[in-house]
Amino acid sequence: MSRASGNRDIGELYDYSVDAYDKLYYSEQNEKYKSIKDSIDVVGYNLIDLGVGTGLYFENFLCESIYLIGIDLSIKSLYKAYNRGLNYYVDLIYSDAESPPVRLNSIDVLMSVTTVHHFKDIELFVSRTMDSGVKYVFISFLEKVFSEDYIRALANRFGCSYWKAANDYMLYCSKI
């Protein structure tokens, strides 16, 4: 498995901060994941989370979804997510979320929460995701990094909508 050197640094950064992550970001991240769950009924769906981190949202989704794939560059975060997902059907993959090593056309819901600011080519990622066959796509963009004008332009280009969720703009696209 290969990774760009810049992405290796990101994985190491999150490995270093994994013990504090949940305490620092639980409330904010949980609000974003709840906004996704409030938008669609995930019962019976296959989900993928690109940038799964420590699996903070598992309590919101895993009791209702059939299957979840989580992808992340932080080994220590994946270990924490693994322990959270022991009672569920979850596969965790150590990989770059920008180019996930899975066939997305078998996924019903794609989530990428507070991750894309690490990507090298965000518009290419969004374009590939929209063309992948995924039924529902949720991608959050940090408000302090991305302007609302940029998010609006993306939403218009790809036929999506967006809303505010905590400190992010949540881009939402449906293929149904």
The average pLDDT across 63-82 equals 84
The average pLDDT across 121-131 equals 92
Q: How many helices (H) and strands (E) does the chain have?
A: 5, 7
Residue 84 pLDDT level (bands cut at 50, 70, 90): confident
pLDDT at 129 over 80: yes
Residue 153 pLDDT level (bands cut at 50, 70, 90): very high
The length of the chain is 176
pLDDT the model gives residue 128: 92
Query: What mean pLDDT is reported for the chain?
Result: 84
Strand pairing report for 161-165 and 90-94: unpaired
Give the span between the Cα atoms of 116 and 141, in whole angstroms.
7
Side-by-side strand order, sheet with 168-174: 90-94, 67-72, 46-50, 109-112, 136-142, 168-174, 161-165
pLDDT at 5 over 90: no
Give the span between the Cα atoms of 22 and 35, in whole angstroms.
18
Of the candidates 70, 174, 80, 59, the one whose C-alpha atom is nearest the C-alpha of residue 115 is 70
| pLDDT above 90 as % of the chain | 44
Q: What is the pLDDT of residues 10-48, one digit of tens each?
A: 666 555 556 666 776 677 788 888 888 889 888 888 999
8 Å CB contact between 123 and 146 = no
Looking at domain 5-174, its CATH superfamily turns out to be Vaccinia Virus protein VP39 (3.40.50.150)
* Chain centre distance of CA 43: 18
